Chain A
């Protein structure tokens, strides 16, 4: 399974890329897309929505089941990837290209509170 080392991860199977401007780009991991199966529906939050840490804010549904995606930190949604919602299968093809949303953290946060690739994969074993 593919979990790039330059990304951060959560136990709830989100990946996080810390952008240069301090915003966080969020998607679901390769493990998550593989466990869910073919994705058929994605509901993204409104841009501007204020999220609490660990708040459910995206719904991804596969042929099998619905699953929530959680905000890794408190913050505001500054962008969403509508193209992914139009073509959910892209998340199966490349879960790291098909990002879901970008959050501007409400407070400065410590990246060390997130998992690195090795720790994330250890949690899957």
Chain B
């Protein structure tokens, strides 16, 4: 199994390790719930080095990405700005979701998921025009520092990053020496994501921990992103669904003359399904992926579900027939019973605050 540069630190901290897309990654360091709360209330950090940074270089980099991605890189006008996008196949199915940073006119950095990294690289190579090169940056480690106190604690731990990052707006990144620091994340909280040389990652991790940033595993990462209403690739979407069926229509730019892979398919196919949020009405169980959902206009399925530590109730993302109405009640088949749940518009939690109305 692959190991990140922080693997020895996880072992030393007593992490429970699990196979995630072929990587031996921390699930938790003792209590997933406490790690979740640390990020909502204070500061936590995640080793995300299993994800892959791909540098897209060359004079044609922007035009190449405009043709490859469903979101339009032309929206990136200021260096450092980031954009979230889907990578689609010709049928409009989601190959991956990613973040692309505009670094220079001839340099963009794309961050893709671990499980899809090889597939993405092959796909992008297949689309690549001359004058564009793709560079896999396995030499970089990634650490996400997240939570209301994440920025202050990151600066205390790594003061050399402060000058470059103090004025960073949300969804912007900047180079600070050999570290790329961005105000992005996957938790619904403020914070930074750091890309730094692999050899320097253990020291940065240790300094962050010493500043009171709690190491958090993939378990908390999953409940945090679910509360934040963010999709997990391979679970809430894959090649069999379009961005419009995965709650990601807002990331697709269909207007204008720009062509991109999957555009024609998206224009010709009216989405039959959509992704919505669900909140369990009572406390009769826990919503989980693959449970069947019965709505007024047809049946669907939960794609991600679990117990929300912030709301102290069960929440889910579910793919239902198009036309799901927020506020409407549905029934979910939970271990042989039908439990009442309500359709809500994600996110469920943002910046530590519940967004789900009481019922």
A residues near B27, Cβ cutoff 8 Å: 37
Report yes or no: B223 in contact with A63, Cβ–Cβ below 8 A: yes
What interface size band does chain A fall in?
10 to 19
Once the chains bind, are A37 and B219 in contact (CB under 8 Å)? Answer: yes
Query: Are A66 and B335 closer than 8 Å at their CB atoms?
Result: yes
Known contacts A63-B306, A66-B335: A38-B286 contact under CB 8 Å: no
For residue A40, which residue of chain B has the nearest CB? Answer: B307
A63–B335 alpha-carbon span in the complex (Å): 16
Q: How far is the CA of A44 from the CA of B193 in the complex (A)?
A: 43
With known contacts A37-B28, A41-B285, A66-B286, A59–B335 Cβ distance under 8 A? yes
A-facing residues in B5-34 (Cβ within 8 Å): 16, 27-28, 31-33
**Bound state CA distance, A92 and B28, in angstroms?**
14
**Are B32 and A38 closer than 8 Å at their CB atoms?**
yes
User: CA A66 – CA B223 in complex, angstroms?
Assistant: 16
Which A residues are CB-close (under 8 A) to B33? 38, 40, 63, 89
Residues in B with CB closer than 8 Å to A89 are 33
- Least CB distance from A87 to B in Å reads 11
Closest to A64 in B: B219
Main secondary structure of the interface of B (DSSP, over half): mixed
Q: How far, in whole Å, are A40 and B33 apart by their CA atoms in the complex?
A: 9
List residues of A (71-92) whose CB comes within 8 Å of B's CBs.
89, 92
Tell me the nearest residue of chain B to A37, going by C-beta. B32
B307, A61: Cβ atoms closer than 8 Å: yes
State whether A43 touches B219 (Cβ < 8 A).
no
- Shortest Cβ distance from B222 into A: residue: A63
Kindly list chain B residues whose C-beta atoms are within 8 Å of the C-beta of A40.
Answer: 33, 286, 307, 309
Chain A residues in 8 Å Cβ range of B16: 37
- Please give me the residue from chain A that is nearest to B36 by CB atom: A63
Is B307's CB under 8 angstroms from A66's CB? Answer: no
**CB neighbors of B among A21-54 (8 A):** 37-38, 40-41, 43
A37 to B36, CA, bound (A): 13
How far apart sit A37 and B32, CA to CA, in the bound complex (Å)?
7
B28 touches A41 (CB 8 A): no
- Which of A37, A59, A63 gathers most chain B CB within 10 Å? A63
Given A38-B31, A89-B33, is A63 in contact with B283 using a C-beta cutoff of 8 Å? Answer: no
Write out the residue numbers on chain A whose beta carbons fall within 8 Å of the beta carbon of B31. Answer: 38, 92
Expressed in whole angstroms, the minimum distance between the Cβ of A93 and any Cβ of chain B is 10
**CB-defined contacts of B288 to chain A, threshold 8 Å:** 66
Map CB proximity to A onto B158-184 as digits: 1 under 8 Å, 0 otherwise: 000000000000000000000000000
Which residues of chain B come closer than 8 Å to A37, judged between CB atoms?
A: 16, 27-28, 32, 219
A63 contacts across to B, CB distance below 8 A: 32-33, 219, 223, 306-307, 309
B28 contacts which chain A residues (CB < 8 A)? 37
CA distance in complex: A16, B108 (Å)? 61
How far is B16's CA from A106's CA once the two chains are assembled, in angstroms? 41
- Expressed in whole angstroms, the Cα–Cα distance for A103 and B183 within the complex equals 56
Question: Measured between alpha carbons, how far is A41 from B334 in the docked complex, in Å?
Answer: 13
Interface-centre pick from A38, A61, A89 (highest chain B CB count, 10 A): A38
Give the CA-CA distance A43 to B283 in the complex, in Å. Answer: 10
Instruction: For the complex formed, measure the closest distance between the CB of B337 and the CB atoms of chain A, giving whole angstroms.
Output: 10
Measured in the bound complex, the distance between the Cα atoms of B306 and A66 in whole Å is: 10
Whether the pair A41, B32 counts as a contact (CB closer than 8 A) is no
Instruction: Give every chain B residue within 8 A of A64 (Cβ-Cβ).
Output: 32, 219
Q: A38-B31, A38-B33, A64-B219 are in contact. Are A43 and B307 (CB under 8 A)?
A: no
Task: Please tell me if the beta carbons of A61 and B219 are within 8 angstroms of each other in the complex.
Answer: no
Identity of the chain A residue whose Cβ is nearest the Cβ of B288 in the assembled complex: A66
Instruction: List 28 A-B residue pairs with CB atoms under 8 Å apart, sorted by A's residue number.
Output: A37-B16, A37-B27, A37-B28, A37-B32, A37-B219, A38-B31, A38-B32, A38-B33, A40-B307, A41-B283, A41-B285, A41-B286, A41-B307, A43-B284, A59-B285, A59-B335, A61-B285, A61-B286, A61-B307, A63-B32, A63-B219, A63-B223, A63-B306, A64-B32, A64-B219, A66-B286, A66-B288, A89-B33
- A interface residues with partner B (beta carbon < 8 Å): 37-38, 40-41, 43, 59, 61, 63-64, 66, 89, 92
Q: Which 4 A-B pairs have the closest CB atoms?
A: A40-B307, A38-B33, A61-B286, A63-B32
Inter-chain pairs besides A40-B286, A40-B309, A41-B307, 6 sampled, C-beta below 8 Å: A41-B286, A43-B284, A59-B285, A59-B335, A61-B285, A92-B31
B interface residues, Cβ below 8 angstroms from A:
16, 27-28, 31-33, 219, 223, 283-286, 288, 306-307, 309, 314, 335
